[in-house]
Amino acid sequence: MKNLTEQEREKKFQERIDRGEIIEPKDWMPERYRSQLIRMMSQHAHSEIVGMLPEGNWITRAPSLKRKAVLLAKVQDEGGHGLYIYSGTETLNISREELVGEFLSGKAKYSSIFNYPTLTWADIGAIGWLVDGAAIVNQTALAKCSYGPYARAMVRICKEENFHHKQGYEILATLMKGTEGQKAMAQDAVNRWWWPSLMMFGPSDKDSPNSAELMRWKVKRFSNDDLRQRFIDRTVPQADNIGIKIPDPMLKFNETTSHYEYGPINWEEFYNVIKGNGICNRERMKARRAAHTDGRWVREAAEAYAKKQTAKGIEA
């Protein structure tokens, strides 16, 4: 690659992608490929970390010891996913401090979905079933993306997300076998989480500025609309199984295409949320900034300990 022009390198890079080769951190890559991956992977990592907040809200109020233990484990898993993806992003030659700094300053985005409040216990079921369900559809595709560290992180994360998805569905299935009040609570949670879950996949293909480039580089293997459709097709029968109604009067199965047709998504709401004006945006950022400030002593102590260990190693 030494004597090649930038254009020739990019051509060779694209040929590698087209042959289905996996790009590893030390391989040559276009600057734009690197920056697009940093944008997308860091947004993903921040989402996992912010995603701990709405569910964390219910740990002290879970209805039984078993539910509390399961929720605690799930929230801990999300934190682990965040750290795992941050490590993957660091292979692109950016430090953890920079990544977290961009998030806390508001420069980097996180998923729109976590700006909605968790009002009842049923919301924990709806998040597991719908939000983790949507994440699995998106991340199963990312497990086949062209960047090795991201793809490998997704394999492990998807295994855990499958467990999260099942626990959420089981919470709703249990409520749907309960009293009229419990059934109404489950339905209300799904009414509030359904549309924001569809927005997780990003804008429609025609309005997605990053998709064409990311698909050419096989970072994205399917378009936003294709993944959204896949999620709807697999989720509607699950709702039917437990007697939950999907809050979309236009939803209907098309026998010819074998897909569900669905009503219009409120994109105005989506753009409003990603601009920072959702119900919980300010609360979420305030909580993360406070956690960063309050956690300073832990970072400092860990650094001091690491330095001491290194010094000991050198002495020995």
DSSP secondary structure string, 251-299? -EEETTTTEEE-----HHHHHHIIIIISSSHHHHHHHHHHHHHHTHHHH
| Beta-carbon contacts of residue 251 (< 8 Å; ≥ 6 apart) | 236, 260, 261, 262, 263
Nearer to ligand BYC, 51 or 125 (CB): 51
Q: How far apart are CA 232 and CA 229, in angstroms?
A: 5
CB of residue 174 vs ligand BYC: minimum separation in angstroms?
20
Taking the complex as a whole, the smallest distance from the CB of residue 246 to ligand BYC amounts, in Å, to 19
**Nearest-CB residue to ligand BYC?**
51
Residues paired with residue 259 on neighbouring β-strands, in sequence order:
254
C-beta of 137 vs 244, nearer to ligand BYC: 137
Determine the Cα angle at 281 with ends 290 and 233, to 5°: 125
Task: Provide the minimum distance between the beta carbon of 203 and ligand BYC in the complex, in angstroms, as a whole number.
Answer: 5
Nearest distance, CB of residue 109 and ligand BYC, angstroms: 5
Question: Residue 9 or residue 269: which is nearer to ligand BYC going by CB?
Answer: 269
Q: How far apart are the first and last CA of the chain?
A: 42
Output the smallest distance, CB 102 to ligand BYC, in A. 11
Q: Which is nearer to ligand BYC, 54 or 183 (CB)?
A: 54
Query: Can you give the binding site for ligand BYC, defined by CB under 6 A?
Result: 39-40, 43-44, 47-48, 51, 78, 109, 111-112, 127, 131-132, 135, 138, 199-203, 208-211, 214, 224, 274
* Secondary structure (H, E, C), 7-25: HHHHHHHHHHHHCCCCECC
